[in-house]
Amino acid sequence: MDKIKISTNLRENEKYIRERCAGCADILIRPMRLGDGPKVDCLMVYIEVAVSNMMLDDSALGKMINHFWEISPDQIQEFVRNNSLGIADVKKLPDMESAFAALLAGNAVFFMDGCDQAMKISSKGYPGMGVSGAETEKVLRGSREGFSDAVKVNSALVRKRIRDTRLKVEEKTVGVRSQTVVQILYMSDLVQEDLLYELKNRMDEYVIDGIMDSGMLEQLTGENWYSLFPQYQTTERPDRAAQEILNGKIVVICDNSPYALILPSSFNGFMESSEDWYHHFAMASFLRVLRYIALAAATLLPGLYLAVIRFHTQILPTNLILSFAEAREGVPFSSVTELVFLELAFEMIREAGVRIPGSLGNAIGIVGGLIVGQAAVSANLVSPIVVMIVALTALGGMVIPNEEFASAFRLLKYMFLFLGGYLGIFGIVLGVYLTTAHLAGLLSFGMPYLMPFVKRSGISGKGEGIIRIPFRRRTVRPAYARKEEKLRLKRRSDQ
Amino acid sequence: MKFAENNRISHRQLYRQTVLAFLAPFLLCLTGSGGLQGRAGVAGVLAASGILSVYVILLLRMVPWYTDLVKVLGPFQGRAAGLFFLSYVMLTGAYLLNLIAELVPFALVPGVSGLWIALLTAGACSFGTGKGMQRRGRMAEVSGGILLGGIFLMMALCLGQSRGVYFREMAAADFEGKEILASCFKALCAFSGISLLPFMLKDVEKRGKAGKPLVLSIFTLGGILTGILLLLPAVLGWRRLKAEKYPVLPLLAGADLPGNVLARFDVLWMGFLVYSLLFSLGSLFHYGRQIAERAHLGSGRWWLPAGVFLLSAAGADGAGPGEYYGIYLSRIFLPGVLLLQIYMVLRGRNKRKKKAPAVCAAVLLAGVFLSGCGSVEPEKRMYPLALGVDGSVGEFTVTYGMPDLPQATGQDKEEEGGNVPVLTFRGNDFQEIEKEYDRSQEKYLDISHIQALLLGNALTENGGWEEFLNWLKAEPFMGENVYLFRTEDPQAVLELDTGGSSMGAYLTGLLENRLPGQQKEGVTLRQVYHRWYQDGTLMDLPEIILKDGGIEVRLFDG
């Protein structure tokens, strides 16, 4: 599209702006005559709410307008040319497209008669929630801050943690209508350049109406879009994002989304919590192992239960299988139907708990868990052991630190449930084989998804495995960072 | 963007891939009757490992001639060579598919059709075989360690079951030099699939140094095979080993897990073996596709798994690849591949100058639901804990000692002293008794929890016990750590009220619930099998005597 130049004739500019903004009641166009003595025609265009209506003395905009009342039109033009007032974030805009981009980004745009440039004057911007706590990544130790909906606030939260100019923040707009601001954050000396190049290529690959959340960007740029497994790590914790940047990864922040995307991602990365590095290594290692056990339980437990009680009863101690048989006496459904019924009931309770606000959501969980479960057992619809299996499976899923990753296993659980229920251990082995084959073929921006379990370099000190190595031994960056910058910890005396 | 090392597989991945692909087929097929056994088998394996370690070094040098068979050998010879290698892939695939179709319904999922299992397996193993060597490398790297660890753990748990007396039987058995040669040749035939390595080696990083992981993988496989060859006679006995078709299957049927978490874990052992078989089959499909592409015979994406399945299905009536696979390997493939490689080297010197997934998923899904007919809910099963057998050939009496469910599960402790549930059936043979049970009882008979077998004195004296043992041998779910007793009247013993516990649990407790050192040594089914295979006799069993409304167990001294 050809860029439309800003005219020196303010009336022409005003006409164009009014035509383009016809029907946009939220965009205010305010003509004004400024200057001491002879006046000059000016035009202020801004979005209501996004820009303070009260041009107060303490706002950049208020200061500027007040100043313009006191100076001559020539001096106003001089100001526009040189930004001599020294107001922060005032930018000259050469054409209408950039003027509208600035306007729609929540800034005020100032036009003046006789001047072929407009001025962007930053204001408070669109309303947002501000910095709040991380809701889905709660920790016992570590920062309480979470990302907000505003991209600029989010990058500032990362910058607060990495005060180094080598932390680069590149800005792009995605979505031809939404013009969503997306920021790419990385350490210039750590990031692998082809990774950065690949990311930008993928972001430019599609032309889309609008991006409303980082999740849409994730699905659009993901390599294996059909896979259940997320190929971007997501976080709402600035400390986690900063930590990953220092590992050589790239963080993508999308406006209107409190979730930052981290790439490349790996299986083990999804099993890590940001506080793993704040705890003692022994406890952190124990928790990581526990998460892997929970992952296995969340995926395999229902399938294994069915395989054992329907095919391989010899595995269980005699008293246990007799208890199972006694507990199932009188249940009208097959064990597969019984388990699917209860699993789906749990999914409904969980979904209801998420949709229903606040404390009512917690109440739904208690009502569902205790009353529905207990009533189902009393009515002989399900056996007590199945309630226990579903509860343990659900607990296992909740232990996984990343929700998207846990969701993949929530769905896989049903595949294993049917395979175990209809083919026993053979079905489970078949499912494990297929899952391993799928995971082995997955790449996240060219990096094997199963890193660091595959392609181990033999270099110790990376701290990528299941066991969290002591902090003092974590001397080398993971394979994501440039090879020449692999060292990340050394003693001052070694320098 | 491509990760720097992404287009090559590492030496660790090469090592684990080689081990994982050969492990289960070797353990299952080489150790049975007519396979590698005893000292001759061990010597044969070690000799073959030595020869193969030299051979793989030569294979490393042949990689360039495998990159494009048509280019190296010419259009006709190249395609002929491709077909020769594909014949191995297809026959081996069909053989492994038949093996899975035979073992899974027998040992894991009773009642399911082997054909469905074969279809499911072929479908699952063909998944992702065209996505490059890297996927197979990563699969092997991530699962190979767990599988190897599992196999070693199982072997270690087997050690507790081994007996020095059994082992000495093998050591005492004579063998001739030609048996070693025969064993070595069999091992070489089994390893002949390694001749496909050059198709893989071009994708290995630092190819020139790949010899070390390859030699290591051969010696790892040789080591595990040697370990199993020594373990099997020590656990099962020499004569039994010679008679068993798949001796590794009952290897863990009598093993206990410390802590009594699981009653038996031979199913897990089977799980490890099945995973390795799936990996082998997946590897064959993968290499099959590579061979087809390099011999300009299409991609092999569909016709290769379909052909393997059809070949396997054609042999379901007994005339399958299992019948002629050994002959094919020893008389056609092994000599053929050696000649072909010599020809390729000579000729090479002179010359040296990808909506199908949805259909697949639907077939697999249908297979899962249509095949799953072997399951029975736990409450619809009958769990006898003791089994009494009496009578003579042509007139057997079988009594099942059932647990009193409320008592056994502790849910109705007040009602003690009720009638002991016992079921008695009579018939000409055990198959007839099974049919009689099926005709009269609503619940499925699950004999996998039997803890004690009571043989009537008449049965032990008139030779009917042999028919009983033959019947038991066909029941893969019967544990081999079950205790055997003899008594005058098994039915009367099983009808006795033992004060809350079943007769099976009572008799087991009588032997085991003592301090270490005071435990009484009973006679297990495995020991009975051993004596039976050894000299065709029934070993002396502890005797149960009815006395004053109770029982007394007289253990055999010695």
d(CA A180, CA A212): 8
Answer yes or no: do A423 and B120 touch at CB < 8 A. yes
d(CA A44, CA A388): 66
Question: How many domains, in total, are found in chain B?
Answer: 2
Q: Are residues B426 and B530 in the same domain?
A: yes
pLDDT at B202: 80
Residue B257 predicted with pLDDT over 80 = no
Closest Cα of chain A to B403: distance in Å? 9
From B301, B334, B366, the end of a domain falls on B366
pLDDT at A405: 93
Q: pLDDT tens digits for B148-158?
A: 998 898 888 88
What are the two backbone dihedrals, phi and then psi, of residue A147, each rounded to the nearest 5 degrees?
-65, 155
Query: Which of the residues B1, B354, B507 would you substitute to probe the A interface, choosing the one with the greatest number of A C-beta atoms within 10 Å?
Result: B1
Residues 188-217 of B with CB under 8 A from A: none
Answer yes or no: do A313 and B378 touch at CB < 8 A. yes
Answer yes or no: do A440 and B138 touch at CB < 8 A. yes
Looking at beta carbons, which residues of chain B come within 8 Å of A310?
375-378
pLDDT at A73: 74
Chain A touched by B143 (CB under 8 Å): yes
| Closest Cα in chain A to B110 | A311
Chain A touched by B355 (CB under 8 Å): no
- Out of B109, B143, B375, the one facing A436 most closely (by C-beta) is B143
Q: What number is the average pLDDT over the span B383-411?
A: 80
Residue B413 predicted with pLDDT over 50 = no
Q: Are residues B362 and B390 in the same domain?
A: no
Residues 464-493 of B with CB under 8 A from A: 477, 479
Residue B558 predicted with pLDDT over 50 = no
Going by DSSP bridges, is the β-strand pair A40-47/A27-34 parallel, antiparallel, or unpaired? antiparallel
Query: Quick one: which of A136, A382, A144 has its CA closest to A278?
Result: A144
Closest Cα of chain B to A423: distance in Å? 6
Q: pLDDT tens digits for B416-428?
A: 445 568 888 888 8
Answer yes or no: do B379 and A331 touch at CB < 8 A. yes
- Out of A428, A445, A454, the one facing B142 most closely (by C-beta) is A454
| Closest Cα in chain A to B381 | A325
Q: Are residues B281 and B393 in the same domain?
A: no
A:B CB pairs within 8 Å: 187
Residue B1 predicted with pLDDT over 60 = no
Does B346 fall in a domain? yes
d(CA A494, CA B388): 78
**Whole-number Cα distances in Å, A189 to A154, A165, A249, A336:** 22, 11, 11, 55
Q: Are residues B130 and B246 in the same domain?
A: yes
Percent with pLDDT over 70 in chain B: 87
Answer yes or no: do B127 and A437 touch at CB < 8 A. yes
pLDDT at B354: 44
Q: pLDDT tens digits for B447-503?
A: 888 888 999 988 888 888 888 888 888 887 888 888 999 898 888 888 887 766 678
Helix residue ranges, H only, B372-502: 405-408, 430-440, 457-462, 464-473, 490-494
Query: Quick one: which of B201, B209, B81 has its CA closest to B133?
Result: B201
Name the token pair of B200. Answer: 């893989």
Query: Which of the residues B379, B446, B480, B483 would you substitute to probe the A interface, choosing the one with the greatest number of A C-beta atoms within 10 Å?
Result: B379
- Out of B143, B375, B408, the one facing A319 most closely (by C-beta) is B408
Does B234 fall in a domain? yes
CATH code for position B67:
1.20.1740.10
Answer yes or no: do B264 and A314 touch at CB < 8 A. yes
| Closest Cα in chain B to A195 | B1
Does B417 fall in a domain? yes
Which band of pLDDT confidence, cut at 50, 70 and 90, is reported for residue B412? low
What are the two backbone dihedrals, phi and then psi, of residue B386, each rounded to the nearest 5 degrees?
-145, 150
Q: Three-state SS for B547?
A: strand
Helices B75-103, B266-294: axis angle to 10 degrees equals: 160
Q: pLDDT tens digits for B293-329?
A: 888 888 777 788 899 999 888 866 666 777 788 888 8
Answer yes or no: do B451 and A318 touch at CB < 8 A. yes
Contacts with A11 (C-beta within 8 Å, 6 or more apart), sequence order:
none
Chain A touched by B128 (CB under 8 Å): yes
Query: Which of the residues A197, A329, A423 would you substitute to probe the B interface, choosing the one with the greatest number of B C-beta atoms within 10 Å?
Result: A423
From B331, B366, B401, the end of a domain falls on B366
Answer yes or no: do B372 and A331 touch at CB < 8 A. no
Answer yes or no: do A326 and B409 touch at CB < 8 A. yes
Could you say which DSSP state residue A173 is in?
E
Query: Quick one: which of B97, B104, B100, B85 has its CA closest to B308?
Result: B97
Which band of pLDDT confidence, cut at 50, 70 and 90, is reported for residue B203? confident
pLDDT at B47: 92
Closest Cα of chain B to A118: distance in Å? 41
d(CA B404, CA B418): 9
Chain A touched by B270 (CB under 8 Å): yes
- Out of A419, A433, A440, the one facing B278 most closely (by C-beta) is A433
pLDDT at A476: 84
Does B375 fall in a domain? no
Task: Note whether A299 and A412 are within 8 A (CB).
Answer: yes
- Out of A192, A311, A438, the one facing B108 most closely (by C-beta) is A311
Q: pLDDT tens digits for B429-438?
A: 888 888 888 8
Answer yes or no: do B385 and A314 touch at CB < 8 A. no
CB hemisphere CA count around B463 (13 angstroms): 3
Looking at beta carbons, which residues of chain A come within 8 Å of B449?
313-314, 318, 321
| Closest Cα in chain B to A437 | B139
| Residue type present at position A410 | R
Chain A touched by B421 (CB under 8 Å): no
pTM of the model: 0.83
Phi-psi region of A149 (alpha: psi -120 to 50; beta: other; left: phi over 0): alpha
Going by DSSP bridges, is the β-strand pair B395-401/B422-427 parallel, antiparallel, or unpaired? antiparallel
Phi-psi region of B11 (alpha: psi -120 to 50; beta: other; left: phi over 0): alpha
pLDDT at A140: 84
Closest Cα of chain B to A308: distance in Å? 9
What are the two backbone dihedrals, phi and then psi, of residue B551, each rounded to the nearest 5 degrees?
-125, 160
Q: What DSSP letter does each residue of A96-162 carry, written as one string?
A: HHHHHHHHHTT-EEEEETT-S-EEEE--S-S----SEE-SSS--SSS--EE--S-HHHHHHHHHTT-
Answer yes or no: do A322 and B409 touch at CB < 8 A. yes
d(CA B135, CA B13): 10
How many helices and strands in chain A, by DSSP H and E?
Answer: 16, 14
Which band of pLDDT confidence, cut at 50, 70 and 90, is reported for residue B285? very high
Does B373 fall in a domain? no
d(CA B252, CA B480): 9
Determine the longest span between alpha carbons in chain B, in angstroms.
96
Q: pLDDT tens digits for B65-119?
A: 787 888 878 888 888 888 999 999 999 999 999 999 988 988 888 888 888 899 9
Going by DSSP bridges, is the β-strand pair B483-487/B422-427 parallel, antiparallel, or unpaired? unpaired
Does B2 fall in a domain? no
Which band of pLDDT confidence, cut at 50, 70 and 90, is reported for residue B362? low
Q: Are residues B395 and B348 in the same domain?
A: no
pLDDT at B415: 47
d(CA A367, CA A375): 11
Does B170 fall in a domain? yes
Does B1 fall in a domain? no
Q: Which domain holds residue B13?
A: 7-366
Query: Quick one: which of B376, B390, B506 has its CA closest to B445?
Result: B376
For residue B447, the Cα-to-chain-centroid distance in whole angstroms is 21
- Out of B121, B138, B376, the one facing A454 most closely (by C-beta) is B138
Per-residue pLDDT of chain A (495 residues; tens, 9 = 90+): 567 888 888 899 999 999 998 888 888 888 888 777 777 888 989 888 776 655 545 566 677 777 777 777 777 777 766 665 555 567 788 899 889 988 888 888 889 888 888 888 876 677 777 788 888 888 888 888 999 988 888 999 999 999 888 999 999 889 888 889 999 999 999 998 888 999 999 988 888 989 898 889 888 888 888 899 998 999 999 999 999 999 899 999 999 899 999 989 999 999 988 888 888 889 999 999 999 999 999 999 999 999 999 988 888 888 888 888 888 888 888 899 999 988 998 888 888 887 877 767 777 777 777 777 888 888 888 888 999 999 999 999 999 998 889 999 999 999 999 999 999 999 999 999 999 999 998 988 888 898 888 866 655 666 677 888 888 888 888 888 888 888 888 877 766
Q: Are residues B356 and B388 in the same domain?
A: no
Q: Are residues B304 and B247 in the same domain?
A: yes
d(CA A408, CA A397): 10
Q: Which of A212-221, A456-465, B199-208, B357-366 shows the lowest mean pLDDT across its residues? A: B357-366
Name the token pair of B447. Answer: 């004999």
d(CA B478, CA B383): 12
Task: Note whether A468 and A273 are within 8 A (CB).
Answer: no
Contacts with B546 (C-beta within 8 Å, 6 or more apart), sequence order:
B487, B488, B489, B492, B493, B496
